[in-house]
């Protein structure tokens, strides 16, 4: 049957070719194959032209900057890390040359002269970075929070102001489009006067989600981290509230801490709730290493509306009696969409970065809130600032 069908097709084609006016070329029967253009090499776009020094490798967020370096997006001129085993692990993973490593930060900055230094060491040693870099006029950005204690933060602030450097704190949520949308709506008074801010930040726990041992060792140490979940995740809420309240300092702080996982985290709290009082609003910070899933979200209640940033992109809005809407926030515009490109903007223009989520001004208020929360827990009372 198949052979007979094929013969009929051949006869039909022959007839079309032989009959005048019905000639069909082979190109009409068989589609032409378009030539494949040669592939062009992808040239990475630099996030910053600054020479970057890296201080420490024990914070797992360091994967972000090392990934950018591997992809040709940033210029790392040196990495200061005394732990040779830790160095070897990252060197192998990211194929880093020996020439990039230094045993201490002072040798790195005097040899390579970076424009900025990024801190990925223990929170309690953020102050050591500033002690080295500030007198040399080198700006610094550390991973959140700014310091382990308010006393350390105050010393860091003194050095930054004395030597005219930028001292910034990097939060993951700073680069969330959804949070920016909530802020913009509140700033336009679309929600009316803000009355309540609720921030949830947490996950199942650093050990449970697979944080590295080097990270977990200091993250769960009250001296090296300043606290447990309270510092690790409470700082997010304190930072966002300070931003939404336009840098206003709270009037009082009340907090409680819970130890649900004494066997896993014997030295620090794994759950904290912080109430932050303002003259016209209340903030509630919920920070935890004891949740069944990871969550970072933000709720803002105003006299006339409500917004809920569910995650990095999605926002629920309800204003007055209008229907509830769920939208995807527009992407952040460069250079406001990445910590490194924004850092370059701030360092090159001293008028920027003075009052925002990354700024020293706002993060000193964050440290005051965290310090008051720890005192509230220790003294079992409301702390008036």
Buried b (16+ CB within 10 A) or exposed e, 160-173: beebebbbbbbbeb
Same domain, 366 and 261: yes
Is residue 155 domain-resident? yes
Confidence of residue 30 (pLDDT cuts 50, 70, 90): very low
* DSSP letter assigned to residue 351: T
**pLDDT tens track for 239-273:** 999 999 999 999 999 999 999 999 999 999 999 99
Same domain, 272 and 380: yes
Confidence of residue 99 (pLDDT cuts 50, 70, 90): very high
Same domain, 221 and 352: yes
Of the residues 171, 195, 218, the one at which a domain ends: 171
Distances (CA, A) of 130 to 152, 157, 368: 10, 9, 19
Q: How many domains does the chain have?
A: 3
pLDDT given at position 350 = 67
Same domain, 164 and 207: no
Of the residues 149, 171, 193, the one at which a domain ends: 171
Residues 6+ apart with CB under 8 A from 196: 281, 282, 283, 284, 299, 300, 301
Range of the domain at 77: 51-171
Q: What is the rounded average pLDDT of the residues 270-283? A: 98
| Cβ count near 89 (within 10 Å) | 14
Nearest to 306 by CA among 285, 296, 321: 321
Same domain, 147 and 239: no
Is residue 246 domain-resident? yes
Same domain, 183 and 151: no
Confidence of residue 219 (pLDDT cuts 50, 70, 90): very high
- Asked, as a colleague might, if the bond just before 335 is cis with ω within 30 of 0, I would say yes
How far is 364 from 372, CA to CA, in rounded Å?
Answer: 12
Nearest to 359 by CA among 371, 369, 347, 370: 347
Tell me the three state secondary structure of residue 267: coil
Q: What is the CATH number of the domain that holds 129?
A: 3.40.50.720
Conformational region of residue 107, where left means phi above 0, alpha means psi within -120 to 50, and beta covers everything else: alpha
Query: Crossing angle, helix 105-112 and helix 126-133, to 10 degrees?
Result: 40
Nearest to 195 by CA among 355, 285, 273, 305: 305
- Supply the Cα-derived Rg of the chain in whole angstroms: 28
Is residue 44 domain-resident? no
Q: What is the rounded average pLDDT of the residues 68-75? A: 96
Angle, alpha carbons 339-344-346 (nearest 5°)? 90
**pLDDT tens track for 284-326:** 999 999 999 999 999 999 999 999 999 999 999 999 888 999 9
List the single range of 20-29, 88-97, 169-178, 271-280 with lowest mean pLDDT. 20-29
Same domain, 228 and 358: yes
Is residue 359 domain-resident? yes
E-strand spans in the chain?
Answer: 51-55, 75-80, 101-102, 116-119, 139-143, 167-170, 194-202, 252-258, 271-277, 282-288, 295-302, 305-309, 314-319, 325-328, 383-384
Q: What is the CATH number of the domain that holds 333?
A: 3.30.360.10
Is residue 149 domain-resident? yes
Is residue 22 domain-resident? yes
Nearest to 143 by CA among 178, 125, 118, 124: 118
CB–CB of 302/191 below 8 Å?
A: yes
CB–CB of 253/385 below 8 Å?
A: yes
pLDDT given at position 354 = 82
Same domain, 153 and 235: no
How far is 310 from 329, CA to CA, in rounded Å?
Answer: 11
Same domain, 14 and 105: no
Same domain, 99 and 214: no
CB–CB of 48/141 below 8 Å?
A: no
Is residue 323 domain-resident? yes
Of the residues 144, 171, 198, the one at which a domain ends: 171
pLDDT given at position 254 = 98
pLDDT given at position 19 = 41
Which residues share a beta bridge with 101?
79
Is residue 42 domain-resident? no
Q: Is the pLDDT of residue 141 over 50?
A: yes
Same domain, 183 and 326: yes
* DSSP letter assigned to residue 196: E
Same domain, 86 and 211: no
């Amino acid at each position: 049957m198949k052979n007979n069908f094929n013969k009929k097709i051949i006869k039909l084609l022959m007839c079309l070719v032989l009959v005048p006016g019905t000639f069909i070329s082979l190109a009409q029967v068989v589609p032409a194959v378009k030539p494949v253009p040669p592939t062009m090499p992808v040239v990475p776009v630099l996030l910053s032209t600054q020479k970057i020094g890296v201080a420490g490798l024990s914070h797992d967020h360091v994967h972000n900057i090392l990934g950018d370096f591997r992809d040709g997006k940033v210029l790392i001129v040196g990495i200061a890390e005394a732990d040779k085993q830790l160095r070897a692990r990252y060197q192998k993973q990211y194929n880093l040359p020996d020439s990039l490593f230094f045993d201490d930060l002072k040798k790195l900055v005097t040899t390579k002269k970076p424009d900025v230094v990024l801190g990925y060491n223990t929170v309690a040693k953020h102050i050591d970075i500033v002690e080295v870099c500030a007198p040399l006029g080198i700006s610094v950005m550390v991973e959140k929070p700014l310091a382990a204690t308010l006393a350390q933060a105050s010393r860091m602030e003194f050095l930054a102001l004395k030597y005219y450097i930028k001292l910034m704190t990097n939060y993951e949520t700073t680069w969330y489009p959804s949070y920016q949308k909530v802020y913009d709506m509140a700033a336009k008074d679309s929600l009316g006067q803000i009355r309540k801010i609720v921030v949830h930040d947490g996950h199942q726990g650093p050990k449970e989600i697979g944080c590295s041992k080097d990270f977990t060792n200091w993250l769960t140490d009250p001296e090296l981290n300043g606290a447990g979940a309270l510092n690790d995740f409470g700082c997010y809420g304190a930072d966002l509230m300070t931003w939404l309240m336009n840098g206003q300092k709270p009037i009082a702080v009340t907090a409680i801490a819970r130890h649900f996982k004494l066997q896993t985290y014997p030295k620090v709290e794994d759950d904290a709730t912080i109430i932050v009082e303002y003259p016209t609003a209340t903030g509630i910070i919920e920070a935890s290493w004891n949740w069944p899933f990871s969550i970072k979200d933000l709720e803002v209640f105003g006299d006339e509306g409500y917004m809920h940033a569910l995650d990095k992109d999605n926002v629920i809005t309800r204003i007055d009696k209008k229907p509830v809407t769920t939208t995807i926030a527009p992407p952040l515009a460069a250079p406001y969409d990445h910590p490194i490109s924004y850092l370059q903007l701030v360092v090159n223009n001293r008028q920027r970065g003075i009052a925002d989520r990354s700024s020293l001004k706002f993060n000193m208020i964050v440290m005051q809130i965290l310090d008051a929360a720890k005192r509230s827990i220790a003294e079992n009372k409301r702390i008036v600032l």
